[in-house]
Structure 1
Amino acid sequence: MTTAIETVREIALKQPTSIRVFEKFGIDYCCGGRKPLADACTTQNLPINSVLAALEAAAADSAPSSEDWSKASLASLSEHIVSVHHAYVRKELLRLALLAQKVVVRHGDTRAELPEIQRTMGQLDEELIAHLAKEEAVLFPYIVRLERAIMDKAVRPKSCFGTVANPIAMMTQEHDAAGVLMATIRSLSHDFVAPEGACPTYHAFYDGLKEFEQDLHQHIHLENNILFPRAIDMEAVAS
């Protein structure tokens, strides 16, 4: 039974079906998931009873749920994040940049928010691409080696960063920064709702931004709430 005093993160972890409910209501369950559900609803002027009812209905849904990554190996989870979410970020940022350029050229003179969205997207692109590279080159390989060492009862692998909590703290801060930029884009775009009479490209741009935010939430949830805590716990065991 879900309660209003549980944090959004706790609910997302124990009830995977809650994620689609949070997406529906625009509740951040990754970077902003540390808030109690009641506080998250108050901040966004959402009726708590409606959200709780939707969570209960989702829990009762007999449809098969997505894979429970909390029980997967960290190697397979890391590979999934890279092949699915990192690949999506790289591909989609390029596509969204092209759409942004088109709508700014056509509508930027009359819609002041569009150049702002484009600039914010550029900053998000720069920061995320560098972030993904650090995870793929340093953090994720270490986590995989750490897991393998424990399975083989071998010596804990050496690293250039001391404890794994150090790069994880940096990655988490960068996730928070990406979340702030994405929230800015959501606000500037009026929750990704194109103005009346907008052209198909305008709609495609806003629809793409909305989908990008949803994927980013899922992506950060897997790292902040599952991969990173498990890696820290695993290193403690290895020590």
Structure 2
Amino acid sequence: MTATTQTVREIALEQPTAIRVFEQFGIDYCCGGRKPLAEACAAGNLEIAAVIAALEAAEKKPGTELDNWTDRSLESLSSHIVAKHHAYVKSELPRLAQLAQKVVNRHGSTKPELPLIATALMHLDEELTQHLAKEEEVLFPYITRLEQSLSNGTPKPHSCFGTVSNPIAMMTQEHDAAGTLLAEIRRLSGNFTTPPDACPTFHAFYDGLREFEQDLHQHIHLENNIYFPRAIELEKSVS
């Protein structure tokens, strides 16, 4: 039974199938996941009994198990993040930018929110391009070496940033910034709701934005709630 006083983050960690439920109800389980479930439901004007019922149903439903990364190696988790989520960001953002330009050119004069969405998407692209590079080139390799040091009984690897908590704090702040931009895109788009006269490209654009948001939430959840806390604890155990 899910406790209403548990945070959304805690529930997502204990029950990976909860992620799909939180996505369904629009509950933030990554950047804003430290709110108790009752508070998150109240903020979204959601009936908490309905959310709890959906969580319990998802847990019992066969064939919906998601990978539980809490006891896998950090190297395997970072490899998964890069292969699945980083690769998705790199391929999907250029596609969304092209769709944004098309819908702005066709509908921007009558729907003033579209140029604003396109601008926010451009800023998101800039933020994430730099963010992913820092993780792939600096932070993830260091954490992998840290994990190998513990396994091999060798000294902690040298870093240019002191404790691993320093770059992790920066990455978390950048996650928050990306989440803020996505929330603004969701607001401007009316929760990705296309108007009655929307063309197929318009539908494809909003559908793509919705899917991108869902993937980024899962991406940030893995890093903020699993990978980063485990890396901080790992560093403490390496001499």
Partner residue of 1:36? 36
In structure 2, what is the equivalent of residue 222 of structure 1? 222
The residue number in structure 2 matching 1:87 is 87
One-letter amino acid of the structure 1 residue matched with residue 174 of structure 2:
E
- TM normalised by structure 2 equals 0.99
Deviations 1:69-117 (A, max 9, x none): 1111100100110111001001100000000000000000000100000
Unaligned runs of 5+ in 2: none
Distance 1:42 1:116 in 2: 29
1:108 aligns with: 108
Residue identity in the other structure for 2:67: E
Distance of 2:52 and 2:197 partners within structure 1: 36
Distance 1:114 1:197 in 2: 14
Alignment of 1:15-54 (within 5 A): 15-54=15-54
Distance 2:207 2:227 in 1: 29
TM normalised by structure 1 equals 0.99
Q: For 1:195 and 1:87, how far apart are their aligned partners in 2?
A: 31
Runs of 4+ with deviation above 3 angstroms: none
Q: What code does the residue aligned with 1:130 have?
A: Q
2:122 partner letter: G
Q: Could you tell me how far 1:59 is from its partner in structure 2? A: 1.0
Partner of 1:209: 209
CA deviation map 1:13-35 (0-9, x unaligned):
00000000001011110001011
SS in 2 for 1:70: coil
Tell me which residue corresponds to 2:197.
Answer: 197
Counterpart residue number, 1:135: 135
Aligned to 2:170: 170
Question: Bigger shift: 95-104 or 70-79?
Answer: 70-79
* Percentage of pairs with the same residue: 67
Aligned to 1:97: 97
Work out the number of aligned pairs and report it: 239
Specify whether residues 100 and 19 from structure 1 end up closer, same or farther in structure 2 by C-alpha distance, changes over 3 A only.
same
User: Per-residue CA shift, 1:172-195, capped at 9, x if unaligned?
Assistant: 000001000000000000111101
Q: Distance in 1 between matches of 2:196 and 2:43?
A: 27
**Unmatched tracts of structure 1, length 5 or more:** none
Q: CA deviation at 1:64?
A: 4.4
Structure 1 partner of 2:159: 159
Does the Cα contact within 8 Å between 2:17 and 2:64 map onto a contact in 1? no
Q: Please say if 1:59 is aligned against 2:59.
A: yes
User: Take 1:66 and 1:43, find their aligned partners in 2: how far apart are those partners?
Assistant: 27
| Partner Cα distance (1:214, 1:162) in 2 | 33
